[in-house]
């Protein structure tokens, strides 16, 4: 018992020490990112300057232009979904099983709303330079031992702390990772009734932002451990078959050809509060820490990595824009208060009325003529006009916001100085290139997620079971895996063994299948208009790409109008069907005519023979001639 307690104390000390290490390394990045989010949310005036202006009654306007720029990139990302595709790598993997794994991953994404996890992480990377999501497992049903893989979004990326020694972009070489969360006190007491109500702080100095009176902060700790094991190449002495195993030969029919010691890694998971290990140790089935980061811009300054989003460099132009607009508004607001130029003798008898002349609209303003200048009348001073320098500063600040974000007016759908369509497209393309980092980094993150899934699938889906897969057109299919079955179409016995072979992942980013289908329908319509004679031949394909109720039924009916060869090709590319049998009556008529023709030929031959046998005919007649 004492040994167990000692082990827990050791791991708790390790957790605190490592957390302090990762917290200190990431604190500056996280604080800058939090300031970016606060600025994007409208907190755009320095506190002391804002207090001074407000005490003087001067305006502090916030004309927040940055959300429109961020939302432009975020909207483009949402319209271009990352798609994971699995590829076979070695001789034990095959393309069909790779397609099954691709469809299974697609179903996992749909069932766990992975697009929300992707979008949340991508939005955060655009706004503050970093986002995150995670992958986990859960039981398929309450009465089942089978598990499924699921995506989970991480709303707050500042709860994730990585090993600062990690150098890989996707953190795949990290030794450890922390994910912290706040649990309401009531839930914490229900889940861990024997634990003390002290929130996790790690080994860092106390930070008031970390805890409150209503919740307890806990930390998940993913730890990577290396373990050595032996790998054997064995051969069957009867048939020469070879296998690679972590154990020796099955029996005397197998012999060891080669063996070597390899170093593999495993992931161990804990959950801890400040003084207790609440859960764990538990082995995570995969070899990767299942936390995926999505970064924005990355800058390395003397081995110190700085992450930033679109907001970081646009903050000063936005501040200048706010200040210039506030100054202009202040000047304009003073215009109705321009003073009157009067003499004391003109208004002396009407002092109360003239004291309110700048506040109230009187129908008339009485005054007395000044004996010293009888011709003079009261008049308002020239109103204050907005300085042209302020107007120029507003325009400059506005342009600098475009320049620092990389999105010009054409990229936001606004009219600019481009005169032709080509110029507009070129300017939009410049904006796409300037912000491509965010699209590309999301693709990298999803590719790493795909690697995590390919590593997990053989370990989670390791028994014979029927799984649902999704095809690229979102159609569903139930497939038997890890068990031989007979293909109904070919009669051939198959097996989709998810536990065998090695597979790799590629990711493509583009429009969703629905968008591609709509674009295909538009392009096909233009093609049919250009080549009308092609219309009947591709009418079924055109209907297939339409998003109408009943489009599938229209497609089926149009297929019957196709020539037989195209119908066969549409059914699977087989050989064309044999020509249709002739009508029975036509066949009888054809045979009758053939018999008549044959009879006439026989009659002619008989007549010719008789002519040759007659005296003076045949060969003798020809010789005499």
> Domain check: are 37 and 183 in the same one?
yes
Residue 494 lies in a domain: no
Rounded-to-integer distance, Cα 329 and Cα 327, Å: 5
Of these ranges, 201-210, 349-358, 597-606, the one predicted with the greatest mean pLDDT is 349-358
> Domain check: are 40 and 179 in the same one?
yes
> Domain check: are 354 and 276 in the same one?
no
The pLDDT of residue 488 is 75
Task: Encode 221-242: b = buried (16+ Cβ within 10 Å), e = exposed.
Answer: bbbbeeeeeeebebbeeeeeee
For residue 514, pLDDT beyond 60? no
Mean pLDDT across the chain, nearest whole number? 82
> Domain check: are 564 and 596 in the same one?
no
Predicted confidence (pLDDT) per residue in 255-273, tens digit: 888 888 888 889 999 999 8
Give the residue from 381, 404, 433 where a domain finishes. Answer: 381
- The residues pairing with 504 across neighbouring beta strands, listed in sequence order, are 87
Give the residue from 381, 407, 437 where a domain finishes. Answer: 381
For residue 431, pLDDT beyond 60? no
For residue 560, pLDDT beyond 80? no
- Residue 498 — φ and ψ, nearest 5°? -75, -10
- Residue 198 — φ and ψ, nearest 5°? -115, 120
**Region 454-474: what's the mean pLDDT?**
90
> Domain check: are 271 and 191 in the same one?
yes
> Domain check: are 183 and 264 in the same one?
yes
Residue 17 lies in a domain: yes
> Domain check: are 264 and 237 in the same one?
yes
Residue 564 lies in a domain: yes
> Domain check: are 179 and 284 in the same one?
yes
Predicted confidence (pLDDT) per residue in 323-369, tens digit: 999 988 888 776 666 778 888 888 888 988 888 887 777 888 899 89
- At residue 399's C-alpha, the angle toward residues 395 and 402, to 5°, is 150
Alpha-carbon distances of 561 from 537, 557, 558, rounded to whole Å: 9, 7, 5
The pLDDT of residue 492 is 80
pLDDT tier at 511 (50, 70, 90 boundaries)?
low
The DSSP code for 131 is: E
Residue 416 lies in a domain: no
Taking the CA atoms of 405, 407, 413 and 416 in sequence, report the sign of the dihedral they define.
positive
Q: How many domains does the chain have?
A: 4
Predicted confidence (pLDDT) per residue in 57-107, tens digit: 889 999 999 999 999 999 988 988 889 999 998 878 888 899 999 999 999
The DSSP code for 583 is: P
The pLDDT of residue 487 is 78
pLDDT tier at 539 (50, 70, 90 boundaries)?
confident
Length of the chain: 625
The pLDDT of residue 406 is 85
Domain that holds residue 589: 584-614
The pLDDT of residue 500 is 87
> Domain check: are 184 and 241 in the same one?
yes
Element (H, E) at 384: none
Of these ranges, 138-147, 268-277, 502-511, 582-591, the one predicted with the greatest mean pLDDT is 268-277
> Which of 159, 68, 151 has its CA nearest to residue 112?
151
**Region 145-173: what's the mean pLDDT?**
93
- The residues pairing with 505 across neighbouring beta strands, listed in sequence order, are 86
**Region 308-312: what's the mean pLDDT?**
95
Classify the phi-psi angles of 80: left when phi > 0, otherwise alpha if psi is within -120 to 50, otherwise beta. Answer: beta
Residue 577 lies in a domain: no
Residue 248 lies in a domain: yes
**Region 158-175: what's the mean pLDDT?**
94
The pLDDT of residue 625 is 36
> Domain check: are 203 and 236 in the same one?
yes
> Three-state DSSP class for 148?
strand
Residue 181 lies in a domain: yes
**Region 476-502: what's the mean pLDDT?**
84
Residue 162 lies in a domain: no
> Domain check: are 221 and 278 in the same one?
yes
Give the residue from 365, 381, 397 where a domain finishes. Answer: 381
The pLDDT of residue 621 is 42
* Cβ pair 270, 15 in contact under 8 A: yes
pLDDT tier at 483 (50, 70, 90 boundaries)?
confident
Of these ranges, 108-112, 338-342, 422-426, the one predicted with the greatest mean pLDDT is 108-112
For residue 153, pLDDT beyond 80? yes
For residue 204, pLDDT beyond 90? no
User: Residue 554 corresponds to which tokens in the numbers above?
Assistant: 């229209």
> Domain check: are 544 and 605 in the same one?
no
């Amino acid at each position: 018992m004492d040994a167990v307690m000692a082990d827990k104390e050791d791991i708790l000390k390790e957790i605190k020490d490592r957390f302090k290490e990762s917290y200190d390394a990431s604190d500056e990045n996280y604080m800058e990112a939090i300031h970016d989010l606060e600025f994007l949310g409208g907190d755009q005036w320095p506190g002391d300057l804002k207090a001074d202006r407000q005490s003087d009654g001067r305006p502090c306007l916030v004309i927040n232009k940055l959300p429109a720029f961020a939302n432009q990139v975020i909207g483009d990302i949402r319209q271009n979904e990352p798609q994971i595709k699995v590829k076979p790598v070695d001789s034990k993997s095959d393309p069909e099983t790779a397609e099954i794994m691709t469809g299974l991953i697609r179903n996992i994404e749909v069932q766990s709303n992975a697009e929300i996890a992707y979008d949340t992480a991508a939005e955060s990377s655009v706004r503050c330079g970093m986002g995150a999501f995670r992958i986990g497992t859960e039981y398929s049903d309450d009465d089942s031992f089978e598990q499924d893989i699921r995506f989970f979004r991480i709303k707050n990326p500042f709860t994730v702390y990585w090993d600062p020694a990690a150098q890989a972009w996707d953190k795949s070489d990290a030794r450890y990772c922390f994910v912290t969360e706040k649990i309401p006190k009531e839930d914490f007491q229900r889940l861990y009734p024997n634990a003390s109500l002290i929130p996790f702080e790690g080994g860092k100095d106390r930070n008031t932002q970390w805890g409150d009176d209503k919740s307890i902060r806990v930390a998940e700790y993913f730890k990577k451990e290396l373990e050595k094991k032996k790998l054997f190449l064995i051969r069957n002495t009867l048939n020469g078959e070879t296998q690679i195993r972590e154990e020796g030969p099955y029996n005397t029919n197998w012999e060891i050809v080669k063996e070597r010691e390899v170093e593999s890694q495993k992931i161990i998971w804990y959950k801890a509060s400040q003084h207790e290990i609440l859960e764990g140790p538990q082995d995570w089935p995969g070899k990767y820490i299942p936390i995926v980061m999505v970064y924005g811009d990355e800058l390395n300054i003397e081995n110190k990595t700085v992450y930033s989003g679109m907001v970081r460099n646009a903050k000063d132009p936005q501040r200048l824009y706010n200040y210039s607009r506030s100054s202009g508004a202040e000047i304009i607001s003073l215009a109705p208060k321009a003073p009157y130029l009067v003499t004391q003798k003109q208004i002396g008898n009407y002092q109360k009325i003239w004291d309110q002349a700048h506040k109230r609209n009187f129908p008339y303003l009485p005054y007395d003529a000044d004996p010293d200048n009888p011709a003079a009348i009261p008049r308002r001073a020239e109103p204050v006009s907005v300085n042209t320098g302020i107007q120029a500063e507003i325009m400059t600040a506005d342009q600098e916001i475009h320049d620092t974000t990389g999105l010009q007016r054409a990229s936001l759908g606004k009219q600019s100085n481009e005169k032709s369509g080509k110029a507009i497209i070129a300017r939009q393309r410049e904006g796409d290139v300037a912000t491509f980092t965010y699209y590309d980094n999301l693709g990298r993150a999803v590719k790493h997620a795909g690697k995590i899934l390919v590593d997990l699938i053989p370990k989670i889906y390791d028994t014979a079971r029927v799984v649902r897969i999704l095809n690229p057109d979102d159609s569903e299919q139930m497939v038997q895996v890890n068990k031989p079955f007979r293909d109904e179409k070919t009669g051939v016995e198959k097996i989709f063994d998810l536990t065998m072979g090695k597979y790799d992942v590629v990711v493509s980013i583009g429009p969703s299948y629905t968008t591609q289908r709509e674009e295909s329908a538009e392009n096909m319509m233009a093609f049919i208009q250009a080549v009308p004679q092609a219309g009947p031949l591709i009418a079924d394909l055109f209907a297939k790409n339409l998003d109408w109720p009943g489009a599938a039924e229209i497609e089926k009916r149009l297929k019957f109008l196709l020539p037989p060869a195209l119908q066969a090709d549409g059914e699977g590319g087989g050989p064309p069907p044999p020509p249709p049998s002739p009508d029975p009556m036509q066949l009888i008529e054809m045979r009758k005519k053939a018999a008549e023709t044959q009879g006439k030929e026989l009659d002619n031959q008989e007549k010719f023979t008789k002519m040759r046998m007659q005296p003076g005919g045949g060969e003798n007649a020809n010789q005499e001639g």
